A and B are shown apart, each in its own frame.
Chain A
Amino acid sequence: MAKEIYTKYKMAKYLRKEALPTALCPGCGGGTVLNAFANAIDQLKIDPRDLVVVSGIGCSAWIASPYFLADTLHTTHGRAIAFATGVKVGLPDKKVVVISGDGDLAGIGGNHLIHAARRNIDITVILVNNFIYGMTGGQVAPTTPFGAKTTTTPYRNIEHPLNIAEVVAEAGASYVARWTTAHVYQLIESIKRALQVKGFSLVEVISQCPVQFGRRNKMKEPAEMLRWFLKNSIPISKAKNMSREELEGKFVIGEFVNRQRPEFTEELNKLIEEVAGDEDAG
């Protein structure tokens, strides 16, 4: 554990110093997401005391928990969004953020993800997609590219990945965006917007896992994976005119949805006023 942190980087003030250095692998995109998140909080001048961060199980769930200094709830695999729902209803004035991984939130937790989007509950989900189950050693995930090698697809992956951002946008979210860790400036702006939108917001971050994914797919250096992201990212405006086959293996980046819809906790409190208000009056 760190006795003293020497870095002059101002964003380090948002970290739980006693837990540093992080347990993330060298070059893990998760660290970059933490960096972007800290920058977003800082730029919006959000006090971490007004923040509750919820995570599940997996490397990405470790990004903010325990490293980010705020009230943090590290829950069971796949269920972070369900826990966050209870937290948000109980603390409607705080910003509730879920930072967890693709296998966690969209694999085992897919159901909760879809329904939170449908409900449009005011939580911000930063879904870190490294298209692998990293913490357990590199097994195939619902987001692993077709043909990729993983420990449980030692020959090649015969399934096609899920397009998480698109699915969540359809389900009713107020704000959905996808970026990669290489697009760190856009990522910060997107996280800021997601935090400010009233309603369910999702920022899917394509992130490098050099040790479990990259190493088995000829990209063992983090920088190689970042260059791969940059090379294969396609903005939505262009992707609109491309077919599904052309988009296979590419990352469609940009903001998919930014809209206003009735928000869950607001509607819930409105209902309570209607019912209890009557009772109060007589």
Chain B
Amino acid sequence: MADVEIKKENYLVIGKTKNVEIDVDTFLCKGCGICVELCPRKVFEWSKELSEKGVHYPVPVHADKCVRCKLCELLCPDFAIAVRW
């Protein structure tokens, strides 16, 4: 797990590398899994715990593999993901 900093502040899951920051709002996230399944680089893994909503949410564990294609951000039906750099 090379230089990826994962932390959770309140509802926000933050995955940070020197190239990109991926944020997931677990209040909006409904655990649909589109991002986890369709990311071409398999950046996300399901969380171990349940969110306040009672669903597993995506954690950008492999953010170092991210190529910033933004498919997760655009496909997310709930505006929960932000890919920023």
Residues of A within 8 A of B (CB): 2, 5-12, 15, 20-22, 24-32, 34-36, 38-39, 181-182, 184-185, 188, 210, 221-223, 226
Cβ of A95 to closest chain B Cβ, rounded Å: 22
Residues of A within 8 A of B73 (CB): 9
CA distance A8 to B28 in the complex (A): 11
Given the known inter-chain contacts A8-B12, A27-B77, please indicate yes or no for A226 contacting B34, CB distance below 8 A: yes
CA distance A21 to B30 in the complex (A): 9
CA distance A181 to B32 in the complex (A): 15
Cβ of B62 to closest chain A Cβ, rounded Å: 18
CB-CB contacts below 8 Å: B9-54 with A:
10-12, 23, 25, 27-28, 30-34, 36-38
Residues of A within 8 A of B31 (CB): 26
Interface status of B55 (Cβ within 8 A of chain A) = yes
Interface status of B4 (Cβ within 8 A of chain A) = no
What are some 13 contacts across the A-B interface (CB < 8 A)?
A5-B28, A6-B28, A8-B23, A8-B82, A10-B82, A21-B30, A24-B77, A26-B32, A27-B30, A29-B77, A39-B74, A185-B74, A223-B34
Residues of A within 8 A of B11 (CB): 6
Q: Is the CB of A32 within 8 A of B77?
A: yes
CA distance A280 to B25 in the complex (A): 60
Q: Is the CB of A32 within 8 A of B75?
A: yes
Interface status of B67 (Cβ within 8 A of chain A) = no
Cβ of A180 to closest chain B Cβ, rounded Å: 11
Q: Is the CB of A6 within 8 A of B25?
A: yes
CA distance A188 to B32 in the complex (A): 22
Q: Is the CB of A7 within 8 A of B82?
A: yes
Residue A35 contacts which of B10, B25, B74 (CB distance < 8 angstroms)?
A: B74
Q: Is the CB of B33 within 8 A of A31?
A: no
Cβ of A126 to closest chain B Cβ, rounded Å: 15
Residues of A within 8 A of B82 (CB): 7-10
Residue B79 contacts which of A9, A25, A28 (CB distance < 8 angstroms)?
A: A9
CA distance A28 to B27 in the complex (A): 17
Residue in B10, B12, B71, B80 whose Cβ sees the most chain A Cβ within 10 Å: B80
